[in-house]
Structure 1
């Protein structure tokens, strides 16, 4: 928390919707610091402002008061320009384009960044291979399973080498077995890349498997009321789910969340 050069820093951040007397205080005041390379999971009751926070970080919403800053690095290749928004976002409903092939979807952000063609082709090929999509490069999303579509969304987001990866319940629409597989794939991927990640989930298991830190948010307007650092060293695998420590921490977090969810 005391990193002198955080990747993300929010100070007294609030967001309200509408006007009095129908104004809704959705978020904050909220303080948040995320260190470079850190994977932070946010859990909280429905409607507590988790998605609002992510949309502010993505530049899709403006805060009502306070600030949210993302520290950017210069691009590795001086010919490239950084995207106007240094964050890439992955949604629960995939957010990929049905009329574009898998290859064109993964390439989309690189074209916006004006990455040179040779470099873009190499990155697209790398991510198609890495995500097990090479055989589906010319397919359209409608022909793919939910898990494959979410892999396309992850490949598209990571191909642009974002400063910050924002994930809004990306596996919520998947069945339990596929969700576990995708959690383990993302765990492996993010441990090797060390991309700074802010991840929203309703699943305590997901948060404890993936996160360096798990932050618990209050009922609306959302504030951070607790912080836990799962005591599982990295590199870790999904096998930590079977440990007594995992079960105990999950129960502890659930008690916190239950208290917040009841008034909501």
Structure 2
């Protein structure tokens, strides 16, 4: 039996209004230093990310990926251009760093609750939301533990729970699994895949791993060597919801090879500047 075709709208029905992007950057650039000694680090870059889209950014070391993310998070100002996150919430974006960014002197529950405390959410509600996210991340029994007692993977789960507890409209993730061993990284990739497909949170995800980008991303953007620009865009040909089983498909392998063909020259150019 063939697939059912949607019923066309009646004649004269106006087309639905286009959904504005969650994030838009135009002519975005950043340099460090001043005058003749200024070092161009990023751009110009033009990006649009749709609501609910998981966008992965790959590129050679030093190409400005993290600089772009920090501009999006409000931690850096651009030297030129603009970046806008369209939001109606008081906390439009939350950032997750490679080095976890959790506080050693706070227990796990207090770490996850931290953003809610900043927002002055009442303690009872904040504790309930924090415990809910600890349960989702499999950390309920560690609520009273301190980070020193946790493995690297558990610390990163705490960081993810803390970011999501404030219910951000967008997640900014800067190589969050880079410091983990290969087996643990694979497990957390699978968990993040399941989590973001459930919440449909808009994500901008920085990674050096092509496999990670293909597994997680609705879209993979490739950046040039410094100063980083967007030089290619690919959409992994896998429907949502997807599972980690796509790693074993020929399409996955073919897209990885295609991305590497684009990226190889930029990596060499960054390693041996002209």
Interval containing the TM-score (normalised by the shorter chain): over 0.9
Mapped pair 1:66 → 2:72: no
| Structure 1 unaligned blocks of 5 or more | 75-81
Larger Rg: 2
Q: Secondary structure at the match of 1:262?
A: helix
- Runs of 5+ in structure 2 lacking a partner? 1-16
Instruction: Give structure 1 regions of 4+ aligned residues with deviation exceeding 3 angstroms.
Output: none
The question of whether the paired residues in 2 share the 8 Å contact of 1:92 and 1:171 is answered with yes
From 28, 46, 49, the counterpart of 2:64: 49
Question: How far 1:118 moved relative to its partner?
Answer: 2.6
Shift in Å, 1:21:
2.2
How many residues are matched? 254
Distance 2:145 2:161 in 1: 15
| DSSP-derived class of the 2:40 partner | strand
Counterparts of 1:38 and 1:10, CA distance in 2 = 15
**Which residue of the partner structure matches residue 159 of structure 2?**
153
Q: For 2:181 and 2:256, how far apart are their aligned partners in 1?
A: 20
1:50-71 superposed Cα distances (whole Å, 9 cap, x missing partner): 0000000000000111110001
Paired with 1:132 and 1:38, the residues of 2 have a C-alpha distance of 25
1:229 paired with 2:235, answer yes
Alignment partner of 1:32 is 2:47: yes
TM-score, normalised via structure 2 length: 0.91
TM-score (norm 1): 0.94
Alignment of 1:44-193 (within 5 A): 44-74=59-89, 82-83=90-91, 86-193=92-199
1:3–1:35: 8 Å Cα contact kept in structure 2?
A: no
SS of corresponding position for 1:69: strand
**Aligned partner (choices 248, 254, 258) of residue 252 of structure 1:** 258
RMSD over aligned CA atoms reads 1.1
Partner of 2:10: none
